Amino acid sequence: MAMRNAYIDRFPNEARLIEAAFWSSFLALAIGGSLGLLQALHRTDFLRIMESPDYYTVLTAHGVLLAITFTIFFLVGIFTWGVTTSLDRGLVDLRFSWGWYAMMVVGTVLVGVSILGGVVDAIPMNADVLFTFYAPLQPHPAFYVGLVLFVVGTWLAGADWFRTWLAWRSDNPDERIPLPTFMALTTTLFWYLCTLGVALSILLLLLPWSMGIVDSVNPLLTRTLFWYFGHAVVYFWLMPAYMLWYIMLPKLSGGKLFSDPLARVVFVLFLLLSTPTGIHHQYLDPGIAEGYKFIAMTNTMFLLLPSLLTAFTVVASMEHGARQRGGTGYLGWLKALPWRDPVFTGMALAGLMFAAAGFSGMINAGMNINYLVHNTWWIVGHFHLTVGTAVALTFMAAAYWFIPQVTGKELWNRSLGLVQVLVWFVGMTFMSNAMHRSGLFGVPRRTAEPQYENFAFEPAAGSMGEINAQVALGATLLTVSLALFLLNMVMTSLGGSSDEIPDNTYAETLSGPEDAPVVLDNLKLWTAIATVLVIFAYTLPLASIIDAGGLFGPGIDGLQLSIGSDPAVALEHLREVMP
């Protein structure tokens, strides 16, 4: 009898770390996803079980837990798997590894408790800053301290992967960097670069401001430093999803990756282009010159290139696999793909949704068209296609393969997994479609009460009632899908050890690393170029902002959106601090 070849059999210690990271991710997904249902039902006026000021606490928790905690905990698990598997060696020092994991957990707890204080009077904190944490919204210092600990934990995780690679390279000086490790390292370098803005903003401005060390800060400066990070972080979520599409979808399809060199080019392009784009979130900010905004728009449009290359490479790889399975014809090969496999189907549907997100993203990136949809529900619909589906659905589908790998336990119910990914796809289709449509006629985001007195939104087709019904239905289906996913994960973990675990392998290539120019592996070169591009994109805008308003601004008091659960108290507080 052949011996089982699961990840846990080769790397039992690393498997425990990865499993812990996955479950931290799932816990954040469970809480954040459930809060998303409360938001949707409240805004659409189908069910209101909280006061409107508390909506902003719920929105903050939903955004931070899903966009930061869920995604990045899963990312560190995936990249740890990718580095150790492709290098065929364990991490250098597991004590160091558990250290960065513990730092991320402590940071998450601090952030979570500070947010919870917005609805629990016994907790003397408040952090109702939504996801976009910049002045003048002011949280408790614990919120910023928690964010710092979490981000530093991710930096140390990246250092762990580099240490492991350097140890491997000393034994294999002439070998090309294996593709999964290459993807993890380029993503880490990009993360180091893009988090500099938010790190400077928190440590030098926002944390001292929240602690009362300085009286005020320049809100436009903190906003710009946030978006220096805030758009780039989208690609930090997406790059592990891209890695899974490149190295898992071809294998699941029954074939090989079409081109290792193209995959490397894509990750180098993300390293170069992802950070100098954040100002496209600030087209309506009056303190930034139009020329800088035009440069940001141009940079953002260049990011279509790696996405289009990915679409070509991954679809070509899937077609190769389908034809190996007997698929024929121009489109007939699609029927030969393993659609009954929840891992494949979830990832493939996530990629399809990401294609739709790319089209709406082009609208967001264009200066003139952005004016129509800026700060409307269109934007919310867009990022629910990106992080909410391209990333979240890919990660959930991948978990059906990875949890058995790191636990040695067979997936509890594959059919339930297939139902789960399909329900998520349908639910997001309803919700995101309605959000995009409502954004076209001006329904605002970031508010608990989108309807205004003596004003009615006029859809070109349908009605506000129909739009709201689609959002509520979609959110309900997403919550049902989330419950099915968590049930499958819990029951799998409670099961016994099994020998029916797939081998811990990833896709081979039709065109391998030997066909890629050696310069692609020159990480120092690409990091230097990426740094220069960031300097070109941000030096003059930041200098202009500081020249106009100084580092600490014109004396703006901090705002807190809710105090406890009493809306009257919150309203009175806003009256006191408004300039």
Q: Is 409 helix (H, G, I), strand (E, B) or coil?
A: strand
Q: Which of 445, 485, 506, 538 is catalytic?
A: 445
Catalytic residue flag (residue 22): no
What local confidence, expressed as pLDDT, does residue 572 receive? 54
Asked whether the beta carbons of 377 and 439 are under 8 A apart, the reply is yes
- Contacts with 450 (C-beta within 8 Å, 6 or more apart), sequence order: 43, 377, 443, 444
What local confidence, expressed as pLDDT, does residue 548 receive? 85
- Contacts with 342 (C-beta within 8 Å, 6 or more apart), sequence order: 397, 400, 414, 417, 418, 420, 421
Query: What stretches of 274-303 show up as alpha helix (H) in DSSP?
Result: 290-302
Q: Which of 48, 446, 457, 573 is catalytic?
A: 446
Q: Give the range with max mean pLDDT: 24-28, 220-224, 449-453, 455-459.
A: 24-28
Residue whose tokens read 């449009």? 301
Q: What is the pLDDT of residues 537-574, one digit of tens each?
A: 999 999 999 988 888 776 555 555 554 445 455 545 54
HEC letters along 471-499: HHHHHHHHHHHHHHHHHHHHHHHHCCECC
Catalytic residue flag (residue 280): no
Catalytic residue flag (residue 573): no
Report the DSSP beta bridge partners of residue 559: 137
Catalytic residue flag (residue 62): no
Does the CA dihedral 79-82-84-87 come out positive or negative? negative
Q: Which of 162, 235, 242, 395 is catalytic?
A: 235
Residues 458, 460: Cα–Cα separation, whole Å: 7
In our burial notation (b when 16+ CB lie closer than 10 A, e otherwise), range 115-140 reads bbbbbeeebebbbbbbbebbbbbbbb
Q: Which of 43, 223, 384, 436 is catalytic?
A: 384
Q: Which long-range contacts (CB under 8 A, 24 or more apart) does 417-420 make?
A: 417/342, 417/343, 417/346, 417/485, 417/488, 418/340, 418/341, 418/342, 418/345, 419/484, 420/342, 420/396, 420/481, 420/484, 420/485, 420/488
Question: Within 10 A of 287 (CB to CB), how many other CB atoms are there?
Answer: 16
Q: Which of 79, 383, 400, 430 is catalytic?
A: 383
Query: Is residue 2 scored above 80 in pLDDT?
Result: no
Count of alpha carbons within 13 Å of 420, Cβ hemisphere only?
30
Residues 248, 78: Cα–Cα separation, whole Å: 12
What local confidence, expressed as pLDDT, does residue 571 receive? 47
- What token pair was written down for 50? 């909280």
Q: What is the pLDDT of residues 499-540, one digit of tens each?
A: 889 899 999 999 989 998 999 999 999 999 999 999 999 999
Question: Within 10 A of 45 (CB to CB), how many other CB atoms are there?
Answer: 14
Q: What is the pLDDT of residues 43-98, one digit of tens each?
A: 998 999 988 889 999 999 999 999 999 999 999 999 999 999 999 999 999 999 99
Residues 468, 382: Cα–Cα separation, whole Å: 17
What local confidence, expressed as pLDDT, does residue 185 receive? 97
Q: Which of 43, 223, 281, 382 is catalytic?
A: 382
CA angle 325, 331, 336 (to 5 degrees): 25
Catalytic residue flag (residue 445): yes
Q: Do you find a cis peptide bond into 502, omega within 30 degrees of 0?
A: no
- What token pair was written down for 578? 């408004």
| Amino acid identity, position 201 | S
CA 151 to chain centre: 14
- What token pair was written down for 461? 């087709």
Q: Which of 42, 43, 223, 231 is catalytic?
A: 231
- What token pair was written down for 383? 């990022």
Catalytic residue flag (residue 176): no
What local confidence, expressed as pLDDT, does residue 559 receive? 55
Q: What is the pLDDT of residues 423-478, one digit of tens each?
A: 999 999 999 999 999 999 889 988 888 887 778 888 877 788 899 999 999 999 99
End-to-end CA distance of the chain: 76
- Contacts with 514 (C-beta within 8 Å, 6 or more apart), sequence order: 176
Residues 97, 91: Cα–Cα separation, whole Å: 8
The secondary structure of residue 238, as a DSSP letter, is: H
Residues 435, 468: Cα–Cα separation, whole Å: 9
